[in-house]
Chains A and B, each alone.
Chain A
Amino acid sequence: MSEVSQMDVAILSRPALAGVKTGRLGASGAAGIRLEALPEGFLLHLLAKPGDGAAAGKAEALASRLGTVLRKTAPGQWYVAGGREMPAAEVRTIEAELLPAIAISDQSHGRVRIGASGPAVESMLAKLMAADLSLKAFPEGHGTTLFAGHVAAHAQRFSADRFEITILRGFAADLWGSLIEASLEFGVEATGPA
């Protein structure tokens, strides 16, 4: 007979960036860069058939409903992400609503978001990314997947001097280290997970 577990043990989630280097680092003076380990809330990977315009509309509506924006990763694919944890049941409900047009892979733990902002953010990210990051070529709201160093990541611009970078959990700590390194010459304020 099965026993329903009554194990009296705290089941806590350990952030991927727990224990990374934080604080005010690098060149002194006003920090040119701010790095933040964003809360590991929810992140859903939406998968539609490439070119399905109706599906794109549904994805847009979902993002609105969840109080966030779509992050385009590939033809017919987006992330929607936010700071609150989303119970598995809620994910299943959303999935049921969107199928068959959109399948959902819950990547709330599979991806990690890092905020990179400040007056020197373009110069800093240019050390890791080959795309033209100027406001003209990479406007607010634009997002794309590209190499950050040697690992694929997603970058989205939220304002003139703010980007969010989303990366596979397994590489998050490594990317954080590279971002710190690239930011030292500008002076960086790095904040770890809450």
Chain B
Amino acid sequence: MSSYRLSRGGAIDRSQSLSFTFDGRALTGHPGDTLASALLANGIGLMGRSFKYHRPRGVLTAGAAEPNALVTIGRGGRTEPNTRATMAELYAGMEAVSQNRWPSLDWDIGSLNSLLSPFLGAGFYYKTFMWPGALWEKLYEPFIRRAAGLGKASYEADPDSYEKAWAHCDVLVIGSGAAGLSAALTAARAGAEVIIADEKAAAGGSLLSETSLIGGKPAHEAAQNALAELAAMPNVRILTRTTVFGWFDSQVFGAVERVQKHVALPDPNRPVERLWRIVAKQAVLASGAEERPIVFGGNDRPGVMMAGAVRTYANQYGVTAGRRVALFTTNDSAYAVAADLEKSGVEVAAIIDNRGAVPTSWTGKARVIPGGAVTATAGGKALEGITIASGAGIETLEVDALGMSGGWSPVIHLACHRGGKPVWDAAKSAFLAPAVKGLIVAGGAKGDLTLSEAMLSGAAAGASAAEALGLKAEPATLGAVEGDLSIATPTPLWSVKGFKGKAFVDYQNDVHHKDLTQSVREGYGDVELAKRYTTNGMATDQGKLSNVNAIGILAEARGVTPAEVGTTTFRPFYTPVSFGALAGTGRGKHFQPVRQSPLHGWAKKNGAVFVETGLWYRSSWFPRNGETSWRESVDREVLNTRVNAGLCDVSTLGKIEIYGADAAEFLNRVYVNAFAKLPVGKARYGLMLREDGMIYDDGTTSRLGENHYFMTTTTALAAGVMTHLEFCAQALWPELDVRLASATDQWAQMAIAGPKSRQILQRIVDEDLSDANFPFLGAKTVSLFGGRLEGRLFRISFSGELAYELAVPAGYGEAVADALMEAGKADGIQPYGVEALGVMRIEKGHITHNEINGRVTPGDLGFAKMVSSTKPDFIGKGMLFREGLQDPKRPRLVGVKPLDPAAGFKTGSHILKKGVQPSLEASAGYVTSSAYSPVLGHTIGLALVVDGPERHGEEVQIYNALRGEFTAGLLCDPVFVDPRNEKLHV
């Protein structure tokens, strides 16, 4: 294979060889190469197949705007599709494959699509695949899915890690070329905290390809010196391989650092990508300018590339794009390319200069064709020749590479991310950044035409940024330039007249000139419509090379100026960012924080099966004796608790300490019932409403001291209630002396329930627990283990059994739970989980958020009498007495059971009168909770039913609309077990 590697030059390490494969072919390159430069060096120009027409494509650029050379790199969970070969740093063992072709890149069946091209023009997807409609699901959609996309993603887990980080600085410099380095030096020397970021591995921007002299040294050396100075300053951070992809609110910049994408086997101690959120007081956008392609026939043949890319491959990578190169240009920059090629010994066949006159400074060998234009190219999968039209007529030229320069578009994206629209500058034929606060544009991004101008504006920007922060700054450039040239393109060439063949505008989405003019003819000439109609600018390259040309073509077709056409909206991300980087460490088990109960260890060692409840892990049931189904365990736990005793972890319920002289008044205002006269040492059940009168949460509040209350909430609404209480205390009634402290984590809280609970508890509690001394709803501090530990004991019951809740400081939770299990062993104590807890509370008609579903009032649940009639104000009072919320026909709480004990029914079923056909109008209500009751031997449920409390004993239909199932049922008292609550008061 003949090599296109130049014998000298390039910032590559020629002493080292890196082996890699492309489509299975073994090749070599050097450290410093990108995949693209290494492929070119090996004479491989065909790198991909275009999206729609499957045309053979080669690399067009040497950087981030690359639309064609998209490859898949890596294998297994590390597979990364749609990677730009121009941005992939070569490493030993890299495996790359081309995309969007079958069976191979050379012989792609997809190229037959070109025969369909009359049917694949602008808006084709609005005009095809429409009829017959029946074919959509089985034929059209699968076909489109297979055809869509370029690379294929892997379904294997990504073995690497990602992370996110924040950074704060005074000045963020985006881009490390001539302007960026000048800005960074100026600001850093003034004492500002500077971060300078560059998307490439090596900082220096276009200076790395530049051959002019700066301060008497080659440009890339001047860049290295500046970087060395910056690297040595403690107030400077240099981030290479880092793309600043967006400018967001509040001066936050998003950036992604490719920490280890360039190594074969990443170090597991470091992430492969890091997402930065950079808070920068000031920023300098020194992102340079993007060279534009020229729109002529066959401008997509492999071998046609950007003139600047030809220069970069030669100067930075020591690779020539061809052996006989031509250049087609509208501005002076191509002459520097020609000079550099000739110096490297490459033949430059011609410089086709679209302008009328030849620059007098050209002293090279190449023939200049003034006023010329390339109208077509020839060759199969590689360029073989070009057709040139000029004043002298038509001529063809044999070349194997063509560098084109249609002008330079400032890279202004970030300046437009916050809503500003770019401004067309007719003199420069360029869209310039709008005036924005906090971001100063400099260099090529500002429309500067020469290297000197760029450095001056960079230095000025750095000084401006530093001065805005109150620092004194001295503008600093890298030095005087020798051999500077101007990239001025006053007369843009939006497309070549009389081109032959397809003239591409958007390479990645295969949009060509005819698509855009057709768009205008069909009424979609507005820039927003033309974009969607043709898909110009909608590919992964986001129109970096196509947007401006498209605007120019639309302008010409419509007979208006580019300013009048305008641009579409710029949005982050500037270049694609992986989901991995955006997720950071938040994947798999780390997707959300894990919150553990202090009794987690105790539950685990007792064999608990856990269930996620929000961020908590709660013990659901505790299988034993070879039980294989949850029902076996839950039934046993319920029966055992009601016969002997059970121990349940209730630590997850919210606990809030309330202090202050006005604590009682505060509680009065947040609950529907009265709390002002709650005696010290007593607990009281409370209902909390929302301001719309619906129940928000329920819980128990105890008075532990004169001005000290202890509130419990449900697990699910612990955070919500705390926030609500804080709103009331701070925003509504700041005059009240109320202090709130979150205490959920301080206490390990366990329920000890069952007929034997008292005697078991008495073995560890020092105080007398007889009914006389510690009645129902008692709430006191108690002494345990002969004074060795203090806890709080509450005689409250969710299960309906004689029960207590014991709270001990969290660290002691496990020891105390163990002690209780030991103390109750002879009495048959067993742990029980939230499933059994759920069954028992349904048996007792106790409500949870199944019933408190956001649409129920206290009256709906039988708590109308709980609502105080004397309190002047409480949350929800204003709306609770609305007619609609007092309507006696609102569904109300009732119990429901099946007529046939062997039948079951599900929560969510509707209640219908016997014999009535199901319909929403006929629905009398619905089942809110249901469970199998091992005590009763059949399924039971709670339901909200119209006139429910008056319909005990009525036969109804329980209708499951999802499954179309009917169960004959009976409405009844919602308290199924111990309806007179005798067990509670033992």
A residues at B contact (CB < 8 Å): 1-7, 9-16, 26-27, 40, 45, 47-49, 88, 99-100, 103, 105-111, 123, 126-127, 129-130, 132, 134, 137, 149-151, 168-171, 173-175, 177-178, 181-182, 184-185
Select one of B745, B767, B788 contacting A170, CB under 8 A.
B745
Given A109-B810, A184-B269, A12 and B741 touching (CB < 8 A)? no
Given A9-B822, A40-B811, A173 and B594 touching (CB < 8 A)? yes
Residue of A nearest to B274 (CB): A127
B659 at the interface (CB under 8 A from A): yes
A123 to B166, CA, bound (A): 9
A26 to B268, CA, bound (A): 8
Q: Which one, B52-60, B480-488, B758-766, B904-912, is touching chain A?
A: B758-766
Q: Is the CB of A126 within 8 A of B167?
A: yes
B263 at the interface (CB under 8 A from A): no
A2 to B267, CA, bound (A): 64
The listed residue with most A CB atoms (<10 A of its CB), out of B585, B590, B593, B597, is: B593
Given A2-B767, A126-B167, A174-B595, A11 and B811 touching (CB < 8 A)? no
Q: Is the CB of A11 within 8 A of B769?
A: no
Chain A residues with Cβ below 8 Å from B590 are: 177-178
- Can you offer 9 A-B residue contacts whose CB atoms are under 8 A? A1-B768, A2-B769, A2-B773, A7-B763, A16-B810, A100-B661, A150-B586, A151-B593, A168-B744
Q: Is the CB of A2 within 8 A of B823?
A: no
A137 to B592, CA, bound (A): 30
Chain B residues with Cβ below 8 Å from A129 are: 166
The listed residue with most B CB atoms (<10 A of its CB), out of A2, A5, A13, A173, is: A5
- State the main secondary structure of chain A at its contact with B: loop
Q: Which one, B152-160, B628-636, B676-684, B813-821, is touching chain A?
A: B813-821
Q: Is the CB of B819 within 8 A of A105?
A: no
B785 at the interface (CB under 8 A from A): yes
Per-position 1/0 for B588-610, Cβ under 8 A of A = 00101111111001000000000
Q: Is the CB of B269 within 8 A of A185?
A: yes
A100 to B659, CA, bound (A): 9
A132 to B170, CA, bound (A): 12
B467 at the interface (CB under 8 A from A): no
Given A5-B786, A12-B815, A132 and B593 touching (CB < 8 A)? no
Select one of A13, A110, A173 contacting B746, CB under 8 A.
A110
B427 at the interface (CB under 8 A from A): no
Q: Is the CB of A174 within 8 A of B165?
A: no
Q: Is the CB of B823 within 8 A of A47?
A: no
Chain A residues with Cβ below 8 Å from B815 are: 9-14
Per-position 1/0 for B219-239, Cβ under 8 A of A = 000000000000000000000
A99 to B705, CA, bound (A): 12
Chain A residues with Cβ below 8 Å from B616 are: 170
Q: Is the CB of B811 within 8 A of A47?
A: no
> Which residues in window 555-600 of B have CB below 8 A to A?
585-586, 590, 592-598
Residue of A nearest to B586 (CB): A150
Chain B residues with Cβ below 8 Å from A151 are: 593
Residue of B nearest to A40 (CB): B811
Select one of A13, A127, A173 contacting B812, CB under 8 A.
A13
B512 at the interface (CB under 8 A from A): no
B367 at the interface (CB under 8 A from A): no
Per-position 1/0 for B514-525, Cβ under 8 A of A = 000000000000
How many B residues have CB within 8 A of the partner chain?
71
Chain B residues with Cβ below 8 Å from A88 are: 790
A111 to B743, CA, bound (A): 9
A133 to chain B, nearest CB (A): 8
Q: Which 5 A-B pairs have the closest CB atoms?
A: A110-B746, A13-B811, A2-B768, A103-B659, A105-B741
A84 to chain B, nearest CB (A): 14
The listed residue with most A CB atoms (<10 A of its CB), out of B163, B268, B592, B810, is: B810
Q: Is the CB of A105 within 8 A of B743?
A: yes
Chain A residues with Cβ below 8 Å from B818 are: 9
A27 to B269, CA, bound (A): 6
Residue of A nearest to B813 (CB): A14
Chain A residues with Cβ below 8 Å from B163 are: 127, 181-182
Given A7-B823, A11-B812, A184-B270, A105 and B657 touching (CB < 8 A)? yes
A132 to B745, CA, bound (A): 29
Residue of B nearest to A181 (CB): B585
Q: Is the CB of A106 within 8 A of B812?
A: no
A67 to B444, CA, bound (A): 60
Chain B residues with Cβ below 8 Å from A185 are: 269-271
Residue of B nearest to A178 (CB): B585
Chain A residues with Cβ below 8 Å from B585 are: 149, 178, 181
Chain A residues with Cβ below 8 Å from B741 are: 45, 47, 103, 105, 107
Q: Is the CB of B593 within 8 A of A109?
A: no
> Which residues in window 737-792 of B have CB below 8 A to A?
737, 739-747, 762-770, 773, 784-786, 788-790
A168 to B811, CA, bound (A): 13
Per-position 1/0 for B709-752, Cβ under 8 A of A = 00000000000000000000000000001011111111100000
Q: Is the CB of A171 within 8 A of B595?
A: yes
A24 to B944, CA, bound (A): 59
Chain B residues with Cβ below 8 Å from A3 are: 762-763
Residue of B nearest to A111 (CB): B745
Chain B residues with Cβ below 8 Å from A103 are: 659-660, 707-708, 739, 741
A113 to B842, CA, bound (A): 41
B401 to chain A, nearest CB (A): 43
Q: Is the CB of B785 within 8 A of A7?
A: yes
A151 to B764, CA, bound (A): 36
B123 at the interface (CB under 8 A from A): no
Select one of B657, B660, B763, B813 contacting A5, CB under 8 A.
B763
B809 at the interface (CB under 8 A from A): yes
A13 to B271, CA, bound (A): 37
Select one of B595, B598, B746, B811 contacting A106, CB under 8 A.
B746
Select one of A5, A10, A47, A171 contacting B659, CB under 8 A.
A47
B279 at the interface (CB under 8 A from A): yes
A45 to B816, CA, bound (A): 25
Residue of B nearest to A149 (CB): B593
A148 to B127, CA, bound (A): 53
Select one of A105, A110, A132 contacting B168, CB under 8 A.
A132
B78 at the interface (CB under 8 A from A): no
Q: Is the CB of A7 within 8 A of B744?
A: no
Select one of B164, B598, B745, B786 contacting A127, CB under 8 A.
B164
Select one of B763, B767, B819 contacting A11, CB under 8 A.
B819
Chain A residues with Cβ below 8 Å from B446 are: none
Q: Is the CB of A150 within 8 A of B593?
A: yes
B241 at the interface (CB under 8 A from A): no
A13 to B269, CA, bound (A): 34
Residue of A nearest to B655 (CB): A110
Chain A residues with Cβ below 8 Å from B708 are: 103
Q: Is the CB of A126 within 8 A of B766?
A: no
A149 to chain B, nearest CB (A): 7
A156 to B166, CA, bound (A): 18
A174 to B279, CA, bound (A): 27
B844 at the interface (CB under 8 A from A): no
B428 at the interface (CB under 8 A from A): no
B277 at the interface (CB under 8 A from A): yes
Residue of A nearest to B791 (CB): A88
> Which residues in window 267-299 of B have CB below 8 A to A?
267-271, 277, 279
Q: Is the CB of A109 within 8 A of B165?
A: no
Chain A residues with Cβ below 8 Å from B277 are: 130
Q: Is the CB of B822 within 8 A of A5?
A: no
Chain A residues with Cβ below 8 Å from B788 are: 11
Chain A residues with Cβ below 8 Å from B164 are: 127
Residue of A nearest to B811 (CB): A13
Per-position 1/0 for B826-848, Cβ under 8 A of A = 00000000000000000000000
Residue of B nearest to A134 (CB): B168
A110 to B743, CA, bound (A): 7
A98 to B810, CA, bound (A): 25
> Which residues in window 681-716 of B have CB below 8 A to A?
707-708
Chain B residues with Cβ below 8 Å from A107 are: 741, 743, 745-746
Per-position 1/0 for B129-171, Cβ under 8 A of A = 0000000000000000000000000000000010111111000
